[in-house]
Structure 1
Amino acid sequence: MSQLPPLSWLQAFEAAARTLSFTAAGRELGVTQAAISQRIRLLEDRLGHKLFVRHPRSLSLTPAGQAWLPSINDAFTRLGEGTAEVFGSAADHSVTLRTTPVIQQNWLAPRLPRLQRAHPLIAIRLVSAIWPDDFGPEGADIEIRYGHGDWSGMEALSLGAEWLVPVCAPSLAAQLNSPRDLAGHTLLHALGFGVGWPAWLEGAGVSGLEAECRALSCDNQVMTLALASQGAGIALAHRRLLAERDDLAIPFGYGLASDERFWLVRPSRRNIGEDAEQLWRWLSAERDVSD
């Protein structure tokens, strides 16, 4: 098993051998022509044999490539049959949607029942991403990302402008009349965001107040919001995540505008299925287009 090349290299070979085109193989797999070329080169280096003859405007298989292709086709066929046998036919038709747990919990969960009523035959597979490196063009049909929307090779639709606001349990909010009242309380920090408490406090006119506060840092926003709802401190939250929550209150009116926002994202080169296209259109209609 240790001698088996990575699956992505084998997929690149199978698609390129079938289409005799690195460009067509990349379009099919949702990656660039250069990525296919690199995977084939790495595969050839691993095997110690050339698999393709590169002509000026076309490709052809070498004798070694021709001899190996039936084994690859048989392996993918058996893998597909085994997957269908164990997991059912829905595995072939599900749409993979990848995003952060905080978006799943606060933005997607309230909407999914409506989606299921509108499109009961779409099978959705939710995949969690914690850090930016968890995202990528492979393995997901659609993603919801946070950032500036400038990802190469991706089609991105903004969910709307974003503001960061402080949130806490309603009982604690009743004690906070102005940002200065945060002194002595615990500020909950979510790591990985470009804008945090120092920027919010500066915008609210109380720069440096964090020195008078206790701090508790978490590696995800789900936990900071959970702690805030339990009265353990005050968190910064994206306004979009609060519409469906009644366990969090906003003690002050000031919100810090962010140049980052949430985006609906999909690979621009991938040929997507009908279910994925329907899900994309439905999620697009849920955007806050008024911002």
Structure 2
Amino acid sequence: MSGLLSAIPLSAIRVFEAAARLGSFTRAAQELGMTQAAVSWQVKALEKRLDQHLFRRLPREVALTPAGERLARAASEAMSVLRTALEDLSTSTGGVLAVTSVATLATQWLAPRLGAFQLKHPDIAVRLDTAVKTLDLVRGEADVALRLGSGEWDGLESIRLFPSILTPLCTPEVAAQLSGAPAPEVLLEATRIGEAVEWNAWFKAAGVPPPETEARLVMQADFQALEVAAALADGGVALGSPILFARELAAGRLVQPFETCVTFRGGYWLAYPKERRRTRKIAEFRDWLVACVAEDPAIARYAPLAETAV
């Protein structure tokens, strides 16, 4: 067996792994910068050495045989280990850490803290992306992601940061206009900003029947930060996270007219590829971020509410 292994070049395993993962010789060739004929030749040579068929050739794609499936699992793991090791060597002195994040979390919570990370790790430059498109971490489109969701993503390891929690937020001036009826029912007639489903969930948590119409909803935006920005301009009452907008609350720019909060299932997570968990720049960022979460008083205050998620 050792003689057989020594006779098989690593390049053949690399080509096989790409073709197995992509299900196509053509796509494998594009990824590897080779011709389709070269990929086909490498696979045929590997099959000849092993004396087994690894693929079934179909009209526009290829499918693994049982033997191919066994080899593909091992090849995938081996290439992942090799890629991680090479990356660790090439980034042992730092490098660029590509972070993709949901927009409001990035602008309200992460960005104000990144300076502290840069001071602690001056050899690691951070590139922050807030594009709406979900980047594929497994394919290397970013190193780590801060996401809102269940925390269950194929190929990724996830660490829960804090819950997804919403409460009414407005300026002191708008809150003063609500003081005539200091009960949650007053918000039924208030100018509201945000999605109807989230407001209905909040009214239910406050013990108030939801409104029959959406006439008082004046604005919905793609990002929570945009909705709260409208509230900061005295545009009405927005649903926002008391964790993400803790600075504005502490400064008195925003107030929370009612203590009632609604917590949604899932939450905010840090995610990264499982096979890259030991990569230095990812490990340094993960440890720093977890420490930031542990030191945040707003998270400590509201994290227990995750048990009441709807």
Give the TM-score of the pair, scaled to structure 1: 0.69
Q: Does 1:221 align with 2:227?
A: no
1:251 paired with 2:257, answer yes
Give 1:42's aligned residue: 27
Query: Residues 42, 120 of structure 1: CA spacing in aligned structure 2 closer, same or farther, 3 A cutoff?
Result: closer
Mapping of residues 85-104 of structure 1, within 5 Å? 93-104=95-106
> Does the 8 Å contact 2:194/2:238 carry over to 1?
yes
Aligned to 2:76: none
In structure 2, the CA distance between the partners of 1:40 and 1:287, relative to structure 1 (3 Å rule), is farther
Helix, strand or coil: the match of 1:145? strand
- Contact persistence 1:190–1:224 (CA under 8 A): no
| Counterparts in 2 of 1:40 and 1:126: CA distance versus 1, 3 Å | farther
d(CA) in 1 for partners of 2:51, 2:268: 41
**What is residue 135 of structure 2 aligned with on the other side?**
135
Aligned pair in 2 of structure 1 residues 128, 57: CA closer, same or farther (>3 Å)?
A: farther
Kindly report which structure 2 residues correspond to 1:84-123, keeping only aligned pairs within 5 A, or say none: 93-123=95-125
Instruction: List aligned pairs for 1:104-183, cutoff 5 A.
Output: 104-130=106-132, 133-137=133-137, 138-176=140-178, 177-183=182-188
Give the whole-Å Cα distance in 2 for the aligned partners of 1:280 and 1:198.
36
By how many angstroms is 1:142 displaced?
A: 0.8
The question of 1:279 aligning with 2:279 is answered no
Q: Which has the larger radius of gyration?
A: 2
Counterparts of 1:179-194 in structure 2 under 5 Å? 179-189=184-194
2:162 is paired with a residue whose SS is coil
- Aligned residue-pair number: 233
Cα pair distance change 1:50/1:162, threshold 3 Å: same
Structure 1 segments, 4+ long, off by >6 Å, are: 23-26
Shift in alpha-carbon separation, 1:284–1:21, aligned structure 2, 3 A: farther
Secondary structure at the aligned position of 1:250 is classed as coil
Asked if residue 266 in structure 1 is aligned to residue 272 in structure 2, the reply is yes
Q: Deviations over 1:12-32 (max 9, x none)?
A: xxxxx9654359967xxxxxx
Aligned partners of 2:28 and 2:276: how far apart in 1? 23
Change (3 A) 1:38 1:110: same
Report the structure, 1 or 2, having the larger helix content: 2
Could you tell me how far apart the structure 2 residues matched to 1:93 and 1:57 are? 44
Aligned CA distance change for structure 1 residues 282 and 93 (closer, same or farther; 3 Å): same
Q: Which amino acid aligns with 1:128?
A: T
After superposition, give the CA deviation of every residue in 1:157-182 in whole Å (9 maximum; x if it has no partner).
Answer: 00023321111112112333221111
Q: In the alignment, is the contact (CA less than 8 A) between 1:186 and 1:214 conserved in 2?
A: yes
Q: Is the 8 A contact 1:99 1:128 kept in 2?
A: yes
- 8 Å CA contact 2:170–2:237 kept in 1: the answer is yes
Deviation string 1:219-274 (CA, Å, 9 cap, x unpaired) is 22121011011110111112320222232211100011221200011111237642
For 1:249 and 1:19, the matched residues in 2 are separated by: 62
In structure 1, the partner of 2:201 is 199
Helix, strand or coil for the counterpart of 1:159?
Answer: strand
Distance 1:24 1:115 in 2: 40
More deviation, 152-161/45-54: 45-54
Counting aligned pairs with the same residue, the percent is 27
Residues 209 and 118 of structure 1, relative CA distance in 2, 3 Å threshold: same
Partner SS for 1:269: helix
RMSD: 3.4
5+ residue gaps in structure 1? 1-16, 27-32, 60-88
